[in-house]
């Protein structure tokens, strides 16, 4: 009998936290930092901004948000894996960030009031949630009018040759890298499964729109192996 997706994902991330950062670098061929750097440039986070980083893991994106928002920024990171949060908290403390709070919680039911944040981000986490639509609606709910939601995620290359190579890499090579570098073949087999079943960038754009976002822009990276979606929440007019 198969375990529910949420339970499987929780077990995976509780297990891989020690080698998570190293494996991200290996799997993405050290490109994930470049992707996120470009995304941050496009986001243009202002000093004093408020931001929530969903599925924050070991807090790399959370820390970048805190750097951009400055000491007066209001930055939260949320993850349901306590082991990942522990690794993130050690990193935050080591770097001396006092404007970050990491919280244990679920992206399916975000523990913040409506219209709390200027920005909400989710990096390589949306593919692992039980229901994409629920999380997108929650992201919309907690954003202030005029706010920006950003998802950086694996995607499906559109060129057939590239897509075939991408498929072989994720289904065959990545689990072996997990086995020999992190000692976690089963866990990285699951991560490739979630990657290959994730919606392509066009379908995900439609899903953002259906969640209520007014404008959705997409940036592709590495021949379409990853994509960032920038979804804007419109400003409501006063009646």
pLDDT at 222: 85
The answer, yes or no, to whether residue 156 has pLDDT greater than 90, is: no
CA separation for the pair 196, 128 (Å, rounded): 11
Q: Measure CA of the first residue to CA of the last residue in the chain; give whole Å.
A: 54
User: pLDDT tens digit string along 33-89?
Assistant: 899 999 999 999 999 999 999 999 999 999 999 999 999 999 999 999 899 899 999
pLDDT at 95: 94
Q: What b/e readout covers 65-88, taking b as 16+ CB neighbours within 10 angstroms? A: bbebbeeebbbbbbbbbebbbebb
């Amino acid at each position: 009998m198969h375990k529910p997706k949420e339970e499987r994902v929780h077990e995976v991330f509780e297990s891989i936290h020690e080698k998570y950062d190293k494996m991200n670098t290996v799997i993405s061929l050290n490109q994930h930092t470049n992707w996120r750097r470009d995304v941050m440039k496009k986001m243009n986070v202002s000093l004093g901004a408020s931001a929530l980083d969903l599925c924050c893991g070991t807090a790399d994106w959370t820390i970048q948000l805190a750097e951009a928002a400055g000491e007066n920024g209001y930055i939260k990171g949320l993850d349901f894996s306590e082991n990942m949060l522990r690794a993130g908290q050690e990193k935050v403390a080591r770097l001396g960030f006092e404007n970050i709070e990491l919280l244990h919680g679920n992206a399916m039911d975000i523990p913040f009031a409506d219209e709390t944040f200027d920005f909400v981000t989710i990096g390589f986490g949306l593919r692992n949630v039980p229901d994409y639509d629920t999380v997108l609606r929650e992201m919309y709910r907690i954003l202030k009018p005029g706010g920006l939601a950003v998802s950086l995620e694996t995607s499906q290359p559109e060129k057939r040759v590239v897509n075939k190579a991408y498929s072989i890499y994720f289904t065959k090579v990545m689990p072996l890298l997990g086995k020999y570098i992190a000692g976690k073949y089963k866990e990285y087999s699951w991560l490739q499964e979630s990657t290959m079943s994730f919606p392509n960038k066009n379908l995900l754009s439609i899903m953002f729109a259906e969640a209520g976002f007014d404008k959705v822009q997409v940036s592709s990276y590495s021949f379409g192996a990853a994509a960032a979606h920038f979804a804007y929440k419109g400003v409501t007019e006063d009646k």
